Amino acid sequence: MTPPSDDAPSRGWGGLALALAARAVVNPRLALDLLKTAWAFRRRRWWARAPFLPVPDPTYLRWRMYTAYGQEAAVPPVDDIVRFARWRRETMRL
């Protein structure tokens, strides 16, 4: 994986989501890959705790960012997320 770009901290998670959504609009296969990947990372029993959304557990997400990028507050580059979603589909046959 590539290190987070310089604009990643200023972009934040919302900016990452918008950039991924923009790519998904023009590529339906990628949209499906991203949705399946997001669903796989949801917190267990997400319906039982606020905010009642299928999002990753914040502690788990910080650990993933630390192990991938060396910083808990890292925001991954869009290309890393796209590559991971495609890799997941190809290797897991999803």
The tens digit of pLDDT for each residue in 12-37 reads 999 999 999 999 999 999 999 999 99
Could you tell me the pTM of the whole model? 0.81
- Angle, helix 78-92 to helix 8-26, in steps of 10 degrees: 50
Q: In angstroms, rounded to a whole number, what is the distance separating the alpha carbons of residues 1 and 67?
A: 11
The whole-chain average pLDDT of the chain stands at 89
Domain count, the chain: 1
Q: Report if residue 3 sits inside a domain.
A: no
Q: Report if residue 2 sits inside a domain.
A: no
Range(s) of the domain holding residue 18:
8-92
Q: Report if residue 1 sits inside a domain.
A: no
Structure tokens at 25: 């609009």
The confidence score (pLDDT) of residue 3 equals 54
